[in-house]
Structure 1
Amino acid sequence: MKKLLGLLTLVLIVNNSCKDDKEAKYLPESIGAINSLAVVMDNQLWQGEAGDKVREYFAAPVAGLTMEEPLFTINFMPQSVFTGSIRNTRSILFITKDSTSKTLIKTDVYAKPQKVAVISGTNVQDIIKNIEASASEIINAFKGLEITEAQKRFQRSLNKEKVLSDNFGITLDIPSAYKVGRQEPNFVWYSRQVPKGEMSVIVYAMPEDYFKTDTTFVKDIIRMRDSIGSVYIPGEDIAGKQNHMITEKYLAPQVYPTEVGGQKAVEVRGLWEMSDYPMGGPYLLYIINDKAKNRKLIVEGFTFAPATQKRDNMFELEAIIKSIKFN
């Protein structure tokens, strides 16, 4: 009965949140670290198959990192402690047994900005089925919110240099901690220091017809990255060697279709290394189909921070790249 009352209360709040602005009550600012997720469900569900399914999807390893790190940092709690300020968490997943089977994703229920996903089922197997069916949509909603929140935080202090606008006709919301370290007619490199290493964003353009066929697409990506690295991204001086950045030799990059800045694009995740020195890390690259300028615009972020977790570093780079605007 308590579970049902809790769900009914949540649904009522969700429905009330849909009223027009004149009737809407004041909502506090949402809270939480980037990529944190509050999961609200009974202990019995959390410790059983339903909890396993939540962890399978929402704590899945992030692709393209040097060590295994979860998609979200999950903060589990039973419904009895889901009160007070904890309800202002930015991303909330609420799972319960109920007389109805449903999935809801609502915006700004307890705070703003906020996404609350509700999954209910008549039994454990019903809940698992609903998790499997809706996990992708819910993850996209949570991740989109986290990207927006990260970009909002960038606005506190932005890099004001006009290099990208002058060279490529684009803008990126880049935090002021990043500085231009190298600028060429067709290559710009921003970087910032982080504990034990460095984070970088690079931008360059390739001819529109550079990628010939789908069958050679991955090879062409590697060839492009390695050629750019040989010219623009040198490493430690090694006698008799031209040490530079290359794509990791034994692990093929992962490629996904996407859209960036309103343009069709391809997302590439993988690992980089130096050709003649034990140094490497993850990279995230977008190939953007910029038809207006008859080019493929390449925007890449990569991190060097040995023996440290890099999920949030790479997420920051993703948020920077996805802020792109075409002049």
Structure 2
Amino acid sequence: MDDSRVTELVREATAAPSMHNAQPWRFRYARGRRTFRLYADFDRKMAHTDPEARALHMGCGAALFNLRVALAHAGAHAEVTLLPEADEPALLATVRATGAGVEDAGLAALRPAIARRHTSRYPFAKTDIPEPVRVALIDAAFREGAVLSFPDPWHLDWVRELSEEAENRNLTDSGSAADLARWTRRGPTGARTAAGEAPGYAADGVPEYAFGPRKDGGGAPLRDFSGGKPTAGVPTTSFEDDPRLALLATEGDRAPYWIRAGQAMERVLLLATSKGLSASFATQALEWPDLRWPLRDPGSGAGEVQMILRLGYGPECPATPRRPVRDVLEFES
């Protein structure tokens, strides 16, 4: 596999979502062994809102899944080993490219969705998600070792209340404000979507054009990326009253589960994109331990909720910038 092909594979891997678009990953490719090494970049962790690096691991897991999809499309199978070296916690996975396997046709079919998947912070239509699509999304998460569930109405109300409480806390919390300030891009630094096109343009974080409108009514849980500050040119609008939320959970709550959850999340998102759905994240309640625990299934109390997804039919949104591949990829013999 030549260097240009490896570069393109990593470019597709890094189209993955991550908290505040921090892009907390690094890749190293060993030419002789045809093996990728995926590292966490802990300098890009949210110091306050993600102190254990749970969300960071999930973002890296999403990038790992994209790499698997890109390799499958290229006719190769990704032989993945998670956390291969106990004394090197930043090394999250090794991925060796081998001959194509049975599972790879299904992965390859998701590849067109990598470029089309963008977080949508806009109102969604009232249209419900058809049951066969819901079932397919649940199965997608299951294939990656996670459980995706669509809460019943009373549980959904509880999830929304917890999310609203968390957002209210974040707006008055100095640590949350500091994380947001570090990873939001206002003015000209956030005006371009293509990374590295000109000096001074940010290649990470959430640019102002991707904040979305400010919510003025509706039940959708949304983060105010302006931090409650006036932002010129950002309109206000009402959002859907009955948002379609899905909870993604795993059996455990340590690094291996976080990485698997990230892969499951991305598989769900790519499949949703291929089905014409848009998605955004409602992570606020996950950032407060006392609010995250009550999100669990009220019937069984089982599972550790790793992500809240807002799904629906909405407008296409612009891409957020990505760091140049040269900044996140190294080669070795």
Name the TM-score, length of structure 2 as normaliser.
Answer: 0.26
Structure ranking higher in helix proportion: 2
Structure ranking higher in strand proportion: 1
Q: Greater RCO between the two (CA within 8 Å, min separation 6)? A: 2
Name the TM-score, length of structure 1 as normaliser.
Answer: 0.26
